[in-house]
Each structure stands twice: as C-alpha cells, then as structure tokens.
Amino acid sequence: MLFFGIAAFFVSCAQTDNTSDGHLQNQGGRNIVIVTLDGVRWQEVFRGADAALLFKPAYYSEDSTLLSDRYMAPTAKERRKKLMPFFWETIAKKGKLFGNRDLGNKFNVANPYVLSYPGYSEIFTGFPDEDIDSNKYGINPNTNVLEYLNDQAGYKNEVLGFCGWVAFDRILDLERNHMEIYTGKALKDAYEQADPTIMGQVTEQMYSLPFHLFEDSKMLGDIKIYALAKTYLAQEHPKIAYIALSKTDHFAHQRTYDFYLDEIYNSSVILGDLWQFLQEDEFYKDNTTLIITTDHGRGKKSWYSHGGNPRASQTWVAVIGPDTEPLGEIDEHRQFYNEQLAQTIAHFLGLNFTADHPIAQPIGEMMDK
C-alpha cells in the first residue's frame, strides 16, 4: 500500500495567529535543531532489539552471549530502554514519541519510493515529489523549509547543517541557496580546520563508548560529524541546525544487525549529549526544540532493505522542547506523514512555510503547550 494522504490540520490557536504579512506570531525567538537517523525502523525504537534477527548467525558477527547482555531483556519496554536510553529516560518523560504502530499511532513517508533522497526531500520540502524517484536524482527543484527559514527576518543566515552524505548538496540545492550546510569534502575540510578544543572533548567522550565505532575514507563517521556540529553550535549559536547521522543505514545494508543496533545506541548517546548541551548553553536553554526522525523505515523479512518495500514506508518522530507538552509515548489512533514535518518545523518558529509547490499541513499535536 502506498501512502499519499495528508493528515488533517490540528493546531492550537496560540500557534496559528496570523500577522498582517501572513506570518504566524513569533514564539519569542525560538530555536530548532533537527536530527535524522538514516533508515532506523520503528520496531527498534518502540520494541528494542529483535531477537529473531539478533541471534540469526547470518546477521551478527559477535558472540551471541555478549549481544544478549547488551540488548536483550524480557520485555519490549526494557529492551528499548537498553537500546535507546535517551529516548526512554528523557524524551518519554519530557517530550513526545510518535509512530508506535502497536498502539495505533502511525507515521509513514508519503513518497512511493522509500529511498533516502525522496525521503529527505519529503521531510524538508513538505511534499512527495513523484519525479524524485532515486538517490541519483539531480538537483532538487523544490524549495525546502531550511532555505525558506534562512531568508526570513529573525532567522536570516541562521541555518547551519552537517551531513556526511554528499547527496545533500542536491537534496537541499546548496548551489542555489548557499546555506551553511557542510557535506562531503566541505564537511571533511571543516572538520580538519575546526577548533580542536571542543572537538577533542566530544570525540574522546564518544570514543569511550563500549560499542563499535566505524570510520571510513569516503565520509566522516557520525561521531566526528557530531563533534563538528557541537563545536559549531557552541561557537556560532545558529538558531536552526540540522545534523544528519547515517551509519545506521550503512550497517543495515551490510546485513550486520548487531552493528546496526550499536549505531542506534551510539546515536542515542549522541542525542543525549546534544540535549544536555542545549539545556546548559545560555543561548539554547529553555527555548530550543529538538526534532528527531528518519527518512524511511525498512522491510520486515528483508529488514536490511527498503526501496520499493511498502513496510519501509513506516517511520517515527520524537520531539522535545519548551512548546511540546511532556506526554511521552503517543497512543492516539492517528495517521501522520513525514511530509508534514516541513511546515511543523516552520510553525515551531512562528512562521508559515510557503513555496511554489504543495506543502502538507503541520502536526499540531507536536506543539501544543
């Protein structure tokens, strides 16, 4: 089944009062940080490690006893907390988590291709352009919410991003809008030139993690990308930041379920450190929303793949910040779509995203405090 619908528009009046120029009332100079975890399934987020995959010899490379101690527990709630402690110790208490299909709360991509380029394009442009049908697609002709915000009063030139995958040059059309978003070689150069003080502290902290950390010559690993992002956040204090973490998808495609889980755990630690920083830094404290999501899900039997697989359209979203009521895991029977996130991001900042293409309505349930 393909998903093309747009969920109904539910948003509180306090969030949607329009000014004379069509903008929403500004929410007091809010900031927003967006993090994507590439290709992470909702099953791991809400159920934890899957024993059927973790202990299948074809999908792991370590001792099964070690893996059991690391990730297994009698219940799904215990397993997910071991795998993603920040989600279930912090966001579940102070934010919201959407997409637990076991509770009838559904999130999906609206594009039919369930690939990364179409997925990220949908998240940031607010609609599933059916012409964008592969990861090799050229320059994205559609306006994205980041470039829209980067040109608005109060947020002009305030977007900063870090994306290891060079395709983000095309997805966000950086040649057109010249946003300060580092990808590919520019990301590597920024890493080499960055102030080593914070970089060293973050890298040392992250590399003390007990689980696998991988780097390769083609792109910076997630730990180094985060170290760079945190350094820039601390020094430049942009109002809008985007961090794209991608190693989870890499190891899923490699069919190494244990390494895929390790990277989910590492991502949770990164996010916990990021949230702590945002709460301690005077610029970001108490006025910054953190949104975490994924570009696509994965199949069930073929858990390592996603393109063309309807089950891979299943996604999830987590949000925490001053404008989000701390309701934790959402159990309302509702259908939401990734295409709604672009307008939701704008609304968190008191703005209404407009472009020369359709834009899905925001998700009011995320910003109801």
pLDDT at residue number 218: 56
Q: Which domains does the chain have, with CATH numbers?
A: 13-366 (3.40.720.10)
- What is the value of pTM for the model shown? 0.91
What does the pLDDT look like over 105-163, one tens digit per residue? 999 999 999 999 999 999 999 999 999 999 999 999 999 999 999 999 999 999 999 99
Q: What is the CA angle 231-235-241, rounded to 5?
A: 70
Mean pLDDT of the region 34-45: 98
pLDDT at residue number 261: 94
pLDDT band per the 50, 70, 90 thresholds, residue 199 = confident
Q: What is the DSSP letter of 18?
A: B
pLDDT at residue number 7: 32
CA 89 to chain CA mean position, Å: 18
pLDDT at residue number 339: 98
Mean pLDDT of the region 71-100: 97
Which of the residue ranges 10-14, 182-186, 213-217, 247-251 would you say has the lowest mean pLDDT? 10-14
pLDDT band per the 50, 70, 90 thresholds, residue 62 = low
Which of the residue ranges 20-24, 37-41, 83-87, 325-329 would you say has the lowest mean pLDDT? 20-24
Q: How many residues does this entry show for the chain? A: 369
Mean pLDDT of the region 291-302: 92
pLDDT at residue number 203: 78
